[in-house]
Amino acid sequence: MISKSSIIDNLKTLFYALIIALLIRSLLLQPFYIPSSSMEPSLLVGDRLFVSKYSYGYSKHSFPFSPNIFAGRILFSKPKVGDVVVFKTPADNRTDYIKRLIGLPGDEIQFINGDLYINNNQILKTLIQSNDKVFCGNNKIAVNFFIEKLPNGKTYKAAYRLNHGFKNSDKFLVPNNHYFFLGDNRDCSKDSRFLSEVGYVHQDNLVGKAQFLFFSSDYRIGSIFKFWDWQNIIRFKRFFKKIN
């Protein structure tokens, strides 16, 4: 027979474990799942990653359900251009997006003939692979892969659609205390170019910096419960891969 004191001790242990897990999730690391192809080829649908919550300090969005426990951001550390960042979309302050930081407060961003410009300077992009494929939703589109180099020297791989891609835009002037984000899959990403859906992201909406993958599987091939087909479903080579 289980004693009353034993039940109370078990409940206390469970309570303390939940508190510790909540603190780790809120202050240190939080896991996220990639549901879309907007960051291909850097991040694939089915990737699972850890985001460091301490990288940019803390706001209400650092905590589950974004409670109004304080205003603004504490222990703020400015993000760097090229960081892959999880943030709450300004449209609802609830939905998590993950994109690459391209523009800082005061920057001017523009696309001209499919090329990215920051403060009237064209961003160097070097073709590394032509006529390849990436996912856009459940379909594959033909793209060229480029290595882009940002003004601070950060490099990463970006995909540009061969036909019907995003070519030209007006200038985007990033407001104070806001940031401009793009998906690496440039022609299959809802990001700061779409002002009514994402637009400029306030610094308080930053959740954290994407650091590394810890698991990855391709649900399009099959369920991970089909252990006999794990060599095709689970992307073992992506385990513990640092996010560039």
**Predicted local distance difference test score (pLDDT) of residue 10:** 63
Whether residue 99 lies in the annotated active site: yes
Q: Which of 38, 192, 216, 217 is catalytic?
A: 38
The number of angstroms, rounded, from the C-alpha of 206 to the middle of its chain's C-alpha atoms is 10
**Predicted local distance difference test score (pLDDT) of residue 49:** 98
Question: How many whole angstroms separate alpha carbon 157 and alpha carbon 162?
Answer: 16
Contacts of 79 (CB under 8 A, 6+ apart): 55, 56, 85, 101, 179, 206, 209
Which pTM was predicted? 0.92
**Predicted local distance difference test score (pLDDT) of residue 46:** 95
**Predicted local distance difference test score (pLDDT) of residue 224:** 78
Whether residue 59 lies in the annotated active site: no
pLDDT digit of tens for each residue in the chain (244 aa)? 566 666 676 677 777 777 876 777 888 899 999 999 999 999 999 999 999 999 999 999 999 889 999 999 999 999 999 999 999 999 999 999 999 999 999 999 999 999 999 999 999 999 999 999 999 988 999 999 999 999 999 999 999 999 888 899 999 999 999 999 999 999 999 999 999 999 999 999 999 999 999 999 998 888 877 878 888 899 999 999 999 9
Domains and CATH numbers, the chain: 4-238 (2.10.109.10)
Q: Which of 88, 99, 125, 209 is catalytic?
A: 99
**Predicted local distance difference test score (pLDDT) of residue 2:** 60
**Predicted local distance difference test score (pLDDT) of residue 65:** 87
